[in-house]
A = this chain, B = another copy of it.
């Protein structure tokens, strides 16, 4: 029985192209605009590289300034790490297209509550966004914020607070998360709270290693659901959308 397609009044979801070869095709346009997405995987999976390429291509190819809030690596280290890919983070910063903030978390800041102070982060991040009129934000990695929280209820509430703040700011955000034992992430809640979840994997079979990307979840959008091989080479990341929609 054919159902007449009604034209809905509500706005459809709009998307922000990452500029990463293949990925925008699989997702039919990129990441959800103005919403936070999660990219997770093991150490070396390519989370940081994907995030930086999202910011760099945003700045250079789509004219959207971006903020990188890095908890693990310093600005200079990030610059060095991607320079061989032809990404000139230093210049982009000078041109006001990228803002890198390396947040240094001290033992003492965790010791009491087991988590980093979110309100402080909001002030700092708000300042960074406003200063360059950022449309894109990267937080690398989320474990630095909540690593010591063990109560699931509270963790969920705090995750939602962070995600809501980012939505309210209207920025398209990419948050990186470390792989957990049996869940996508270490604490196993982030993937439920997020609007869009990407999993990067590094599979070793018969001694040969393959990198694979999968869009685990994308609220409000059709997308390719298979595992797509991807490469990291001198040009950055390229995903092979072998079959882009199943």
Which residues of A line the B interface, CB within 8 A?
Answer: 3, 5-13, 42-44, 48, 72-73, 76-77, 79-84, 86-91, 104-107, 109-111, 114-116, 141, 143-144, 147-148, 151-154, 156-158, 160-161, 178, 181-182, 184, 191-195, 197, 202, 204, 207-209, 211-212, 214, 216-222, 225-229, 232-235, 246
Q: Name the residue of chain B whose CB is nearest to the CB of A228.
A: B207
Contact (Cβ within 8 A) B220 A82: yes
Contact residue among B7, B43, B110, B216 (Cβ-Cβ distance under 8 Å from A153): B110
Residues on B with beta carbons closer than 8 Å to the beta carbon of A82:
220
* Nearest CB of B to A6, in Å: 5
On whether A114 and B147 interact (CB within 8 A), knowing A83-B11, A160-B72, A220-B82, the answer reads: no
Residues on B with beta carbons closer than 8 Å to the beta carbon of A235:
3
